[in-house]
């Protein structure tokens, strides 16, 4: 997958969008994003055009309309940061799993909330993790994304855990003053 280079401003807006969206699940209004990143709504609308072109954001028309992050948005925020994979913790049934390294988190089908899956590529033993177990991955180094899910399946050959995502949490960045 080609990595998308985002400007700091785009990253900030995208992160604000993913944070607001994880709180409400509804489409997020440009004004709300503007408020969070301390820019005017016009600037946000312009940036959203470019983010839509990159397929990181979808526009939702109508009175309840606004913007929603796509699966690629979460990946774009994360992919640039996975330089130190050892820094991503993995928890199984609430206990930290030692001796495994999270190499990559692949978010597929975020467009279908009921089919929302994360493929977690791992180095290390995963024998004790079974279908139906709860697994938490993260926080990731930069966007501090935490994915909570239920193990839906395993690909032992490639060391991939397939999680049904129950929650994705990306905490808000501290505002820079």
Domain boundaries, the chain: 8-77, 83-169
Give the pLDDT band of residue 130 (cuts 50, 70, 90).
very high
Mean pLDDT is lowest, of 50-54, 90-94, 125-129, for 125-129
Q: Provide the pLDDT for residue 81.
A: 47
Q: Provide the pLDDT for residue 163.
A: 92
Return the CATH number of the domain spanning residue range 8-77.
1.10.10.10
Q: Provide the pLDDT for residue 2.
A: 47
Q: Provide the pLDDT for residue 156.
A: 80
Q: If residue 127 lies in a helix (H) or strand (E), which one and from where to where?
A: none
Angstrom distance (rounded) from CA 98 to CA 57? 36
Q: Name the one residue in this structure whose structure tokens are 């994003």.
A: 33
pTM higher than the cut 0.85: no
- Give the mean model confidence (pLDDT) for residues 137-160: 86
CB distance 67 to 47 below 8 Å: no
Q: Provide the pLDDT for residue 112.
A: 60
> Residues 83-120: pLDDT tens digits?
455 568 899 999 998 888 888 888 765 556 566 788 88
Using DSSP's 3-state secondary structure scheme, residue 25 falls into coil
Q: Provide the pLDDT for residue 151.
A: 94
Instruction: Tell me the CA distances in angstroms from 54 to 6, 16, 74, 89, 112, one per residue in order.
Output: 10, 17, 13, 30, 20
Q: Provide the pLDDT for residue 149.
A: 93
Question: Strands, E, within 2-100: which ranges?
Answer: 57-60, 66-69, 90-92, 95-96
């Amino acid at each position: 997958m080609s990595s998308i280079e985002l400007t700091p401003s785009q990253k900030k807006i995208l992160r604000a969008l993913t944070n607001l969206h994880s709180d409400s699940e509804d489409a997020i209004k440009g004004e709300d994003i503007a408020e969070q990143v301390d820019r005017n709504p016009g600037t946000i609308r312009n940036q959203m055009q470019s983010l839509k072109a990159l397929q990181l954001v979808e526009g939702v028309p109508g009175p309840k309309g606004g913007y929603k992050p796509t699966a690629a948005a979460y990946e774009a925020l994360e992919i640039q940061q996975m330089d130190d994979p050892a820094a991503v913790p993995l928890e199984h049934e609430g206990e930290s799993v030692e001796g495994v390294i999270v190499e990559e988190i692949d978010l597929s089908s975020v467009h279908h909330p009921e089919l929302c899956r994360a493929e977690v590529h791992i180095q290390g033993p995963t024998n004790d993790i079974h279908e139906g177990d709860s697994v938490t991955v993260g926080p990731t180094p930069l966007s501090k994304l935490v994915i909570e899910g239920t193990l839906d399946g395993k690909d032992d050959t490639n060391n991939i855990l397939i999680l049904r995502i129950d929650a994705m949490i990306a905490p808000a960045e501290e505002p820079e003053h």
